[in-house]
Structure 1
Amino acid sequence: MSDSDEKPEHQKENGEINGEEEIRLKPFQPWYSVQIKGASKNGEVVMFQITTVKLEQCKEEVEVDRQYEDFEWLQHCLNIVPNVKGVIFPPLPDRPIVSAAEAEAKSRKQLGTASKNIKGDEFHKDCRKLEKYLQGIVRHEAIGKCEALSNFLTKKEPPVRAKLKKGILSNLSRAVDGVRKGGHKDIDEMFQKERDLANDMQKIAKETSLNFDTMVNSLCRISMACNHLSTALCLGMSAEDNGASAIINKLQVEFAKSIDHYGYAVDVCTANDENTLGFHLDLYSRYWLSCKEMLFERTCALVQFDNASKTLEKAKPLKKPMAEAAKEDAEKELNAISEVAKKEITKFHQQRTLDFQKSLILYAEAKVKAARDVYALLAKDVSTIKQMDVEFD
């Protein structure tokens, strides 16, 4: 056979290999598109309306209702899925505030202890947080196609809500393990740096988020003070409508309008701050905790491997084969977790950088737009006051 006859076959083989590599290296495509369109309160329970589009099945759309306990059960099921050790799980948001006592406590924290106002339900914020949580799951290659997620998103009937045990003893045991194993020296310098970084950044991110919330709460109090001042100006108007009293009344009305405009601008700034940078800081204060938990899980595997190695060194001849097998199993588990963890950490740092950049841009743009809008309103109010006839007889 000539060289010219062999060449096409050789090219075909290379083409097949390249095609297989291309398929293997192709990024994970989500099976679902998820959106939480709203929430409704039924007694002490908040039901979230979830709309899911099955991207793999002719764009079929499914709508289900789920409560917060269903999300907790989903998180539990994802944690026990095989081969997920080393995965940084999307963090589950806090439970929504439902009772009147909780709402009152939150309002006093935001508006001040002397405030008698109670803020209304803010389930739209809970919807956005839970939607972000679900989007993080469906886009993750390791957990985005598991059966528990499919049942949660597509089955009309909610999953069995088994009560998860979160007692004092389990928390105490975890705290003790954290003290005992958390300071274990890592054999891999990269993972040791990541552990130190996660410990520091989790504290910094949480503190930053709390301080940002404090700043937003201060804006809420300023807005409330503006409303009180505007109301006081209107109530302080004179009953007489002639001479100097009429002029003063007009001035107070215009001044009250300008105070209302400024209060409205503060409300807009507050909402923008919460929806942009505030949302990001809250999300990644919890994401850093999830990263820290993943690294702790790997540290536990490292401790188990070190203990198995020490046991092998001290083992007697009769028990040596069993000790060798235990060490090999521990080493395989450590290597498997480490391989997954390296990829997860790389993706996590890339994503948090992009998200932080995006949130800062949105935050700055919203600030500029709000400042321009309030400037236009106040400039108009000042112009109106200047044009008024305020000469007294």
Structure 2
Amino acid sequence: MMEEVKDVSPTLSVHGHNIKVTEALKDGDTLTFLLVSQKVSGTGEYHVARTYDDFEWLQQHLFSQEDVPGIQGVIFPPLPAKAQVNASAKVVKQLGFLALEEWQPYCKALEAFLRQIAAHSILSKNKAVEIFLTSSDPPGRQRIKKNIFNRLSQAVEGMRKEGHKDVDEFFQTERDHNLLLTGCTKTAAEKFLDVVLTEQKIAAFSKACVKLSEVFDSMKKNMTSVAENNLNTLGLGLDLESRYQEAEKEMLFRRTCKLVELEAARKNAEKAKPVKKAAMEEVKKAAETEFEHICGVAKQEIAHFHGVRVEMLRQSLVEWCEKQLLTAKENADQFNQHLQAFRGLA
């Protein structure tokens, strides 16, 4: 069993961009995911097995890094909701595209989560990342100390700070855009999921009609192929975009919380009596320094995020169009063969 992880690792011993979640093994109601990472030094690979609880273990270690400078400004890669065998309607709604019958899309989502962490200049240095990717032992189940995300559960306090007007126009504009895009991308993902589910229902219905004719069999293959293409291209792209917008929203909220603390420190310093004036000024300066550092990290994160998310969506759209064109051509050829066969009967 792994020990509590506190230190950081300067570099990973694996190629982060080659991390793969190759398979999901089902044992009753438990899913175990197989991870393969290519070693940086020489040839060879690490093969480890991880459950969803292990992924949560890694995420919690990343969340608990309050002593890392600027950590409140980091946009944490979003971990998908926990997948369940024979999931309930509530779980299916939470997972969206990742709740569909095959586990390949869910493995790809976990794979994207790990690759984003490994590519992150701050998060990849946490020793827990190296251990998670390379150790043959399962992570521990110890209780992680309270971290920066515990305050998110305080609903009343959260609503008050979330609506607090920012002093920086850049962040206020980003918060406004994030609020809009979070809702839009989530709605787009949900609507597109309805399309995919409808296509899968048509495909399932077509299976019952296979024996009626080869034409119905072709329709079944057509709809199945279209649904799979949609799911594995634009569907996963929209899902990741939606979860990343939520992650940015959380980062902006954490920064706003720090802004509220800073403003409180400034007020306390102004109102402090002479005997406490010096101490309160020190508190104010420390808060200002910390806030400026968080803002610096956050601006870099947002700039990087904007570039990356546009490229991710562009790639998803290109893959989607290419798959649609290829599938349409194959289906046109098939239906032309059926048409020629019907003409031959005349």
- With normalisation by structure 2, the TM-score equals 0.88
The equivalent of 1:189 in structure 2 is 169
User: 8 Å contact 1:97–1:103 — kept in the other structure?
Assistant: no
User: 8 Å contact 1:29–1:139 — kept in the other structure?
Assistant: no
The equivalent of 1:32 in structure 2 is 14
C-alpha deviations, 1:203-240, integer Å up to 9, x for none? 11111000000011111122223223344x3xxxxxxx
Asked which structure has the greater RCO (Cα within 8 Å, sep 6+), the reply is 2
The equivalent of 2:48 in structure 1 is 64
Deviation at 1:40, TM superposition (A): 0.7
Structure 2 residue identity aligned to 1:181: K
The equivalent of 2:105 in structure 1 is 125
SS at match of 1:32: coil
Identical amino acids, percent of aligned pairs: 36
The equivalent of 1:54 in structure 2 is 39
Indicate whether 1:213 and 2:193 are aligned: yes
> CA separation of 1:307/1:172 partners in 2, compared to 1, >3 Å: closer, same or farther?
closer
Indicate whether 1:94 and 2:51 are aligned: no
Q: Pairwise CA RMSD of aligned residues?
A: 2.5
Deviation at 1:284, TM superposition (A): 0.9
Larger radius of gyration: 1
Task: Trace 1:275-354 onto structure 2 (pairs within 5 A).
Answer: 275-354=232-311
Deviation at 1:322, TM superposition (A): 1.4
Indicate whether 1:138 and 2:118 are aligned: yes
Unpaired stretches in structure 2, ≥5 consecutive residues: 1-9
User: 8 Å contact 2:13–2:130 — kept in the other structure?
Assistant: no
Structure 2 residue identity aligned to 1:360: L
The equivalent of 2:136 in structure 1 is 156
SS at match of 2:45: strand
Q: Distance in 2 between matches of 1:104 and 1:348?
A: 30
Deviation at 1:146, TM superposition (A): 1.6
> CA separation of 1:171/1:264 partners in 2, compared to 1, >3 Å: closer, same or farther?
farther
Deviation at 1:310, TM superposition (A): 0.6
C-alpha deviations, 1:224-277, integer Å up to 9, x for none? 23223344x3xxxxxxxxxxxxxxxxxxxxxx1011101101100000000000
Aligned residues: 325
User: 8 Å contact 1:31–1:138 — kept in the other structure?
Assistant: no
Q: Distance in 1 between matches of 2:151 and 2:209?
A: 49
Q: Distance in 2 between matches of 1:152 and 1:37?
A: 16
Indicate whether 1:203 and 2:183 are aligned: yes
Q: Distance in 1 between matches of 2:331 and 2:44?
A: 45
- With normalisation by structure 1, the TM-score equals 0.77
The equivalent of 1:114 in structure 2 is none
Q: Distance in 1 between matches of 2:283 and 2:43?
A: 48
User: 8 Å contact 2:14–2:37 — kept in the other structure?
Assistant: yes
